[in-house]
Structure 1
Amino acid sequence: MCKFDPPKSAPLFTKVVLIHLRSNLLHIVFLATFLTICCGKVQAQELPAKSLNVSRTQKDTLTVSLPTTTVDTSKKGSVEPKKPVLEDIVRRKAKGYERMNQKTKQLTLYDEAELYYQDVELTAGIIVMNYETNEVSAGRIKDSTGTLTQRPVFKQGTNVVEPDSIRFNTKTKKVIIYNSRSQQGELNFISEIAKRENDSVYFLSRTKFTTSEDIDNPEYYFLARKAKFVPKKKVVVGFTNMYIADVPTPIAVPFAFFPMTTKSQSGVLIPTFNDTNNRGYSLQNGGYYFAISDYLDLKLTGDYFTNGSYGIRAETNYALRYKFRGNVNFRYENQVFSERGFPDYSRTTLYNIQWSHSQDGKSNPNSRFSASVNLGSSQFFQSSFNQLAAASRLNNTLASSVSYSKTFNWEPQVNITLSATHSQNTQSQAINMTLPTFNASMDRVFPFAPKEGIKKGFFQNINFQYNVLGENRINTTDSLFFKPEMFRDAQAGMRHSIPINTNIKLLKYFSVPFNVNYNEVWYIKTINRRFDPDLNQVVEREVGGFDSFRTYNFSTGIGTTIYGTYDFGDKGKVKAIRHVMRPTVSYNYTPSFDRYYDTYATDASGNMQKEYTRFENGIYGAPQRNYSNVLGFLLSNTFEAKVTDKDSTKTEYKKIMLLNNLNFQTGYDISADSLRWSPVRVSGSTLLFKEKMNVNLAATLDPYSINAAGRRINTFNIDNGGSLFRLTSANVTMNYSFDSNFGNKKNNAAGEENQRNGGREDDLFGTATDFRDRRKSQFDEEDEDTKPLELYAADIPWDLTLAYSLTYSNDRRQSEITGNSIMASGNLTLTPKWKIGASTGYDFVQKGITYTQLRFERDLLSWRMDFTWVPIDIYKSWGFFIGIKSGMLSDIKWERQSLPDGGRR
């Protein structure tokens, strides 16, 4: 008889009871082996070794124990272990309740629920997570009023979505989103249904995208029926049309592509269509943008007009953090006026090059490179069909400078500078350049001073320097710029100077400086003059080769400072007036260097001789023929008052500057045989109305009289029946800038472009209009956090700039006002969204209105609309623009303009 009775507890074993064991030993062994194999339990994973125990408990009972077979899971065909349901820790929180259902394998979080799993962050009113199927659902809940609140916010990495409800699988990464809201760069997306296939692709249905800040009620949006969205890369949409205030418009595209990367992307720049008066139809500012790298870009744009005019522009920006930054702008225009065959037909080519480069001072403290270049055709800003900047048009000077400086921290310190400069008069079209300029200087050396301590006395204060200046100057005109003739007439030279200085104190109150200057000038070209009997005239020829001359001079003087205070006592607001005078008397002596002078005959007889020096045409001048003894007189004055401060808690008086400076300067030439006294020049400046009005004045007083021809004669004016001094010229200028807060008026963004083009930094001559990008405001941009949201009441923001200039001339007793004009510029913010401005002036001498510009602007939230109008002057024009502010949708715009007739004068 065989009995099988496995116990309930582990380890499992088999107990076999055999009767009549002695009868047949072979049967016993076979039966034990069979039961061991058939009743054993095989496991896929390793378990503790099991045994079949056979023991003699009774005389006729035997327990057998055998080891259990172990299965190697590494062999082919073995069963892999089952992974856990969740692969990471789930962190969660809820204000209402948390409920775990083991039967349905669901976790429910209610009211301000938060769930964090791997890289997913989810907040919502209610969140349900099935940790067996790896599905998560989230939605809103109703508050006490029945309103749905606590919209889900789904964040994975840097992608944020705010839907009405969401359902996603944590394992497959698939997501279904209903009425989602998300932001990528400047664009806000609103989709009815969004489906994510994986980490990188979304499919959207009926999607709105806009740059409006109010995503729930956008003032405009584009509705795409179908779209494919790849985060941080692109959005591809099908048929899309524009809606304004939920009203569809006929503006539509069959498909569109939007790059969504955080880096700049290359792309086409759509041109603007316009109908001009004198050049026909046009396409302007179309081209291509190249995003070369994170440090460099390039924008190529152009214009084309149906009469044959065209323009080409290239603009690049570059920057390297903590090193340098800059931009280069090249503009070329081929302008055609009228049509071929007409008498007013003409063709003009204009160009302009601008380069700005600045270096971070911390990148290399001992060397610095900078550039500010603005050169080109003299008539570019007056005639360009892509620029409308009054300040640039009225400016008569273009200037450029490129320099590199290096400091050697030796003992003494040495500084070197290599630069190139450019100055161009747009009226006369004269151009002056230095290409290049080399300047080196050595720090002061005190050879007789102790290494430590204070320098005392005449000898210890003796010091000298060494300076060298080398230049290659070019004087040319606009028509010869960068042509061979320009370099042929260049002049070069080098000047070495060693100033030796010291000073002493006399009677504790007088300072007496002593200065000796030694100069040596090198030229590579000089001149030679002689009388040519064949031509019967004096001829001058250029002589090549190195030549030089040396000069020196001595100067000294005496000066002091005198303080005077008039005390008004305790009565009245003004307590005292302080007057500070700084009189200075200087003396300068320069000997004669007649050894550098030669003579030449002026006629064939040779009897008429005239002196000249071969260094006459040098860039640093020539050595002085006559010695000079000149006394100089300077009296500098400042006036300030001490008044009671309005703040009664302050114990000290408040200082108010009455006159910043009032200077009187003249000279007396001891060596001159006549007209020894120089005219007295008076200059002064002050600040009024809490330092908001700047007043400058200047006058010239001549002690000598003039004859009938208007020339100065060696007779004092008072001895000729006149006054002590004759007023020959005077000038007064006043500038006043303030705003509604009675603070200093700030310059707008267009002021920087004005200043770069050589004009004023304020809007006294109007604001600049750059048709390449009209999204910038003509007015000061206010801080979004400080903008009022309602209409202004009594406090309406405004600003005002006033300028007045008066010039008087009487050098030949004409006694006339040669200049008398007033200019004004103001801006008024009627509402937070409406701004108006105007710039104008009046010339009292010419009796006419000067350049006038009117400005209007409307802030349409995501859009901007502006209108500029120049109603009079030769630059009469107008321009209208309405478009989206965002750079991503900058091509959504409409603009019209009527430009001046080429700015021709």
Structure 2
Amino acid sequence: MNTIYPFQPKESVGASKWYEKLGIGYSGNYKGEISFYDSAFQFQQVLDTFQWGASHDIPITLSLPSLGPFQIAPSMSFKEREFAQQFFRTWNPLTEKVDTSIQKGFYSAREMSFGLSFSTAVFGKYQSKNTEAKVQAIRHVMRPQFSVNYRPDLVKKYYYREQVNKAGNTMLFSTLDGGIFSPFSSGENGGMSFGLDNNLEMKVKSKKDTGDVKLKKVKILDGFGISGSYNMLADSFKLSSFNIYARSNLFEKINITANATMDPYKVDPTSGFRTDRYVWEGGKFNPGKIVRGNLNMSTSLKSSKGDEKKKQLQKTGDDEDDNLTNDQMQQQLDYIRRNPSEFTDFSVPWTLTFSYSLSFAKLLQRDYTYKTQLTSSFNFNGDFSLTKKWKFGANGYYDIKTMKLQSLTTFITRDLHCWQMSINVTPVGRYKFFNITINPKSGLLRDLKINRTRYFYTN
């Protein structure tokens, strides 16, 4: 549902009042999942594996008039999630392992939060006095953000501590783990959040083909910054991890994004668990230890575009995508990645996209110990027009660590004017499948389609 403004008049006259900018929204998500093998179908297995869940989100926002250079925005939100089961972990002293059990039923959890944020922008500029210099100006924009927030603990009854190893170490678990939707965070939260975003760009001289000199804006860094929070009501680990990020577009061709998470707490060398002591305690300064991070680089090549008018006609009806929530947009992006043939642009004769990803993280293992995992992969995606109506393409995923092609999907599509036919074949990967789909191009009618899919699983 779109955000509604209950105090906003139908016909606005003059400047808007501050209370007219009060907005109330709603987004709901309902899911159900069933898992079974068609070769050994049993109705009881369907009932045992059936999972369902629901999520409701009601945000309330208000944009107040700026207070000098500062923007002030109060907010309040209410969330509810519903689950079909509870998941329990219990330490077994005989087997010296953690036993698990599931209890079916109807369970709901709620979360409320209140916040007040402050933001501003600070500009800095260096202007070269030499008119013949290649770099004429450099501009730096800083956008600090600060907010105070409060969240009561409404899910305390769903959290408990349980022993996880022979050494007696315990971990905090939720009985709502393992559901379609993740549980809300535990504990009462009352504190502050902070962040600093930066942008760096410059103006350089560039010559046209005619010999005239023109100033061109070049972005050095699209963004780089840090964010974190401090919970004054927590009994331990009050300071959160620091999130550091950077993004840039080199030569307007190569997109680079990088981010890392820095933990400010010391780690017990024997168990590998965090302790409530800062790494800079003891007189020696240490900003923290990087516990996870990733680096992504991508570039895209394509031929000159075809008829722009035709392309605009293909996109007619897609304007409703602007009203989707973040979760709905992410689901749609995942669907596009899994079904690239349904979103083929016939006005472009060929396209090629390459991306490289490197990531590492300290992950919790099944025996409740931590292990650092490194992954490195290369992704490719491309298509070309066989004729004006036919297009062929493929996309794949190559794992550099194992030196194997983990996934490969090929597709061929046919433009049927207002409709589109696509055939997808995945011959490489753990989940091999074949499908044929006939669907309308309009985004409004995207769910109106004929589909036949066949999966082949390999261990």
TM-score per shorter chain, which class? 0.5 to 0.7
Aligned position for 1:727: 290
Aligned position for 2:142: 581
Question: Aligned with 1:476: secondary structure?
Answer: coil
Aligned position for 1:654: 216
Contact 2:254 2:298 in 1 (8 A): yes
Contact 1:639 1:660 in 2 (8 A): yes
Within a 5 Å distance, the mapping from 1:547-626 to structure 2 comes to 551-569=111-129, 570-593=131-154, 626=187
**456, 466, 469: which is aligned to 2:28?**
469
TM-superposition CA deviations, 1:358-397 (whole Å, max 9, x none)? xxxxxxxxxxxxxxxxxxxxxxxxxxxxxxxxxxxxxxxx
Question: Aligned with 2:64: secondary structure?
Answer: strand
Q: Does 1:698 align with 2:259?
A: yes
Question: Aligned with 1:676: secondary structure?
Answer: coil
Deviation of 1:559 after TM superposition, in Å, equals 0.6
Structure 2 gap segments, 5+ residues each? 89-98, 161-171, 306-334, 342-347, 365-369, 384-394, 409-427, 431-455
Considering Cα pairs closer than 8 Å and 6+ residues apart, tell me whether 1 or 2 has the greater RCO. Answer: 2
Aligned position for 2:358: 806
Deviation of 1:713 after TM superposition, in Å, equals 1.3
Deviation of 1:476 after TM superposition, in Å, equals 2.9
Question: Aligned with 2:46: secondary structure?
Answer: helix
* One-letter code aligned to 1:758: R
Question: Aligned with 1:486: secondary structure?
Answer: helix
Question: Aligned with 1:505: secondary structure?
Answer: coil
Deviation of 1:903 after TM superposition, in Å, equals 10
In the alignment, the residues of structure 2 paired with residue 667 and residue 553 of structure 1 have an alpha-carbon distance, to the nearest angstrom, of 15
Deviation of 1:515 after TM superposition, in Å, equals 1.2
In the alignment, the residues of structure 2 paired with residue 519 and residue 816 of structure 1 have an alpha-carbon distance, to the nearest angstrom, of 34
TM-superposition CA deviations, 1:482-526 (whole Å, max 9, x none)? 863335543445555443321323432111111122345667x67
Contact 1:593 1:624 in 2 (8 A): no
Question: Aligned with 1:517: secondary structure?
Answer: strand
Within a 5 Å distance, the mapping from 1:37-436 to structure 2 comes to none
In the alignment, the residues of structure 2 paired with residue 566 and residue 475 of structure 1 have an alpha-carbon distance, to the nearest angstrom, of 61
In the alignment, the residues of structure 2 paired with residue 651 and residue 476 of structure 1 have an alpha-carbon distance, to the nearest angstrom, of 65
Aligned position for 2:338: 758
In the alignment, the residues of structure 2 paired with residue 588 and residue 503 of structure 1 have an alpha-carbon distance, to the nearest angstrom, of 17
In the alignment, the residues of structure 2 paired with residue 696 and residue 688 of structure 1 have an alpha-carbon distance, to the nearest angstrom, of 11
Contact 1:636 1:663 in 2 (8 A): yes
In the alignment, the residues of structure 1 paired with residue 14 and residue 288 of structure 2 have an alpha-carbon distance, to the nearest angstrom, of 47
TM-superposition CA deviations, 1:714-747 (whole Å, max 9, x none)? 12112265622212233223234558x9x89xxx
Question: Aligned with 2:236: secondary structure?
Answer: coil
Q: Does 1:670 align with 2:232?
A: yes
Deviation of 1:554 after TM superposition, in Å, equals 0.9
* One-letter code aligned to 2:63: N
Question: Aligned with 2:12: secondary structure?
Answer: coil
Deviation of 1:678 after TM superposition, in Å, equals 1.7
Within a 5 Å distance, the mapping from 1:725-874 to structure 2 comes to 725-738=288-301, 758=338, 803-808=355-360, 818-820=374-376
Deviation of 1:552 after TM superposition, in Å, equals 2.9
In the alignment, the residues of structure 2 paired with residue 496 and residue 816 of structure 1 have an alpha-carbon distance, to the nearest angstrom, of 35
Within a 5 Å distance, the mapping from 1:445-484 to structure 2 comes to 445-447=5-7, 451-453=11-13, 456=16, 458-465=18-25, 467=26, 469=28, 471-474=30-33, 476=35, 484=43
In the alignment, the residues of structure 1 paired with residue 156 and residue 362 of structure 2 have an alpha-carbon distance, to the nearest angstrom, of 41
Structure 1 gap segments, 5+ residues each? 1-440, 530-536, 600-610, 745-754, 762-779, 783-798, 828-838, 854-872, 876-901
Deviation of 1:548 after TM superposition, in Å, equals 6.1
TM-superposition CA deviations, 1:207-263 (whole Å, max 9, x none)? xxxxxxxxxxxxxxxxxxxxxxxxxxxxxxxxxxxxxxxxxxxxxxxxxxxxxxxxx
The aligned length equals 339
Cα distance, 1:449–1:843 mapped onto 2, change above 3 Å: closer
Question: Aligned with 2:281: secondary structure?
Answer: helix
Normalised by the length of structure 1, the TM-score is 0.31
* One-letter code aligned to 1:469: G
Deviation of 1:543 after TM superposition, in Å, equals 4.6
Q: Does 1:640 align with 2:198?
A: no
Deviation of 1:567 after TM superposition, in Å, equals 1.4
Aligned position for 1:195: none
Contact 1:593 1:623 in 2 (8 A): no
Contact 1:474 1:487 in 2 (8 A): no
> What is the identity percentage for the equivalent residue pairs of Structure 1 and Structure 2?
21
Aligned position for 1:711: 273
TM-superposition CA deviations, 1:164-216 (whole Å, max 9, x none)? xxxxxxxxxxxxxxxxxxxxxxxxxxxxxxxxxxxxxxxxxxxxxxxxxxxxx
* One-letter code aligned to 2:126: Y
TM-superposition CA deviations, 1:675-715 (whole Å, max 9, x none)? 122221222221113x1222222222221121112222112
Aligned position for 2:392: none
More helix, by proportion: 2
Cα distance, 1:562–1:903 mapped onto 2, change above 3 Å: same
Aligned position for 1:681: 243
Question: Aligned with 2:237: secondary structure?
Answer: coil
TM-superposition CA deviations, 1:441-469 (whole Å, max 9, x none)? 2541232668413555543433333x252
Q: Does 1:627 align with 2:188?
A: yes
Deviation of 1:649 after TM superposition, in Å, equals 6.5
Cα distance, 1:579–1:478 mapped onto 2, change above 3 Å: farther
Deviation of 1:558 after TM superposition, in Å, equals 0.5
